Structure 1
Amino acid sequence: MPKLPEVLTSDVKKALVVDDCLALIDAEVADKSGISGLAIKAGYAAVKGVKPGFIKQVVSDLLPEFATALDPLYQEAKSGNKAIAAFFSANGGRVADALLAITDSKAKNSKSGVVKGTYDKLRGSAKKNVEAAVPRLGQMIEKHAN
């Protein structure tokens, strides 16, 4: 059974996966509402404004690490003959923890004050927001893994 990094970062798929990740992020941000939604939208706009293509570059750079972090869950789903999207949704907390461990480390070591400051302000609600994105993430992974 192939590992998730091989599936998502192959020469054939990586650009498509990055584009789908960007669409997923845009959709998740657009879905946010209320005061916290305004903060997320403002933070996302600030980070996007760091430089053109910044978000795309970050997603592309982080994709191998994210895929590696999610591989144990992916393997668990595949070995149990479970749909990836459904399995990820049922394990949203585990998915969020795996992804946030990577972003926490990256934000801590970021040289950009805008990125670090924005991450620090939004980190308190990050797990809830990542868990909300897990169904879309699972569907996206399932799409590219099949």
Structure 2
Amino acid sequence: MKTLTEALLDQSARPAVVSDLVDVVNDEVHDKKGVSGVTVKTAMATVRKVSPHIIGKAIDRMLPDFARVLEPFWVDFAGDGDFGTYLAGRGREAANALVGVTDRKAESTSRAPLRKAYGALRPRAIDNVTAALPRLGIVMQKYATSG
């Protein structure tokens, strides 16, 4: 059986993984409400102005790191039930691992608009990622358990 990392980075599956993760991001942004929702939606619009395909490119670039930090969760999960529910049960820990990846990437970008947009999102990043864990886990499990 493949590891989570091997499954997500498999060249035959990777484009579909990235596409599904873009859908997760889009769904999460769409579902945001209130003042924090406006902040998220505005930041995402700014990011998309820099490049309409930047979300997919960023996910693809960070996917190896995302897979690496999620691998220990996958191993602990051991295929018992729904990985999204499992991740949600370890919400802060899983979210901190994922946000750590994006923090490192944001620090190294030379694109000021992206740094600014990320800075606007960062204060609520842990909460936003925690909310996305059920959807994220479903995508991860889909590829980790397929052929």
- TM-score normalized with structure 2 length: 0.93
Q: Are 1:122 and 2:114 counterparts?
A: no
Counterpart in the other structure of 1:66: 66
SS of the equivalent of 1:52 reads coil
Unaligned runs of 5+ in 2: none
CA–CA distance in structure 1, aligned partners of residues 120 and 110 of structure 2: 16
Q: 8 Å contact 2:8–2:17 — kept in the other structure? A: yes
1: distance between equivalents of 2:106 and 2:122?
Answer: 10
2:101 and 2:90 mapped to 1: Cα distance? 18
Q: Work out whether 1:111 is the aligned partner of 2:110.
A: yes
Matched, 1:142 2:141: yes
Alignment deviations for residues 84-128 of structure 1 (CA, whole Å, 9 cap, x no partner): 222112111111011011111111111010110111122111100
The 8 Å contact of residues 78 and 84 in structure 1, kept in 2 or not, is answered as no
- TM-score scaled by structure 1? 0.94
User: What displacement does 1:144 show?
Assistant: 1.3
Q: Which moved more, 1:45-54 or 1:14-23?
A: 45-54
Cα RMSD of the aligned pairs, angstroms, is 1.3
Please show how residues 1-146 of structure 1 align to structure 2 within 5 Å.
1-78=1-78, 81-146=80-145
**Which runs of no fewer than 5 residues in structure 1 stay unpaired?**
none
Runs of at least 4 residues off by over 2 Å = none
Report the residue type matching 2:88 in the other structure. S
Q: Report the CA distance shift for 1:83/1:36 in structure 2 as closer, same or farther (over 3 A).
A: closer
Residues paired across the two proteins, number: 145
Contact 1:69-1:99 within 8 A present in 2 as well? yes
SS state of the match for residue 63, structure 1? Answer: helix
C-alpha separation in 2, matches of 1:66 and 1:56:
14
Q: Which amino acid aligns with 1:76?
A: D
Partner amino acid, structure 2, of 1:142: Q
- Per the TM alignment, residue 83 of structure 1 is displaced from its structure 2 partner at its CA by 3.3
Question: What is the CA-CA distance between 1:82 and the residue it aligns to?
Answer: 4.5
C-alpha distance in structure 1 between counterparts of 2:116 and 2:144, whole Å = 35
Q: Determine what percentage of the aligned residue pairs are the same residue.
A: 33
- Aligned equivalents of 1:54, 1:106: Cα separation in 2: 13
Q: Structure 1 stretch 45-54 or stretch 19-28: which is displaced more? A: 45-54
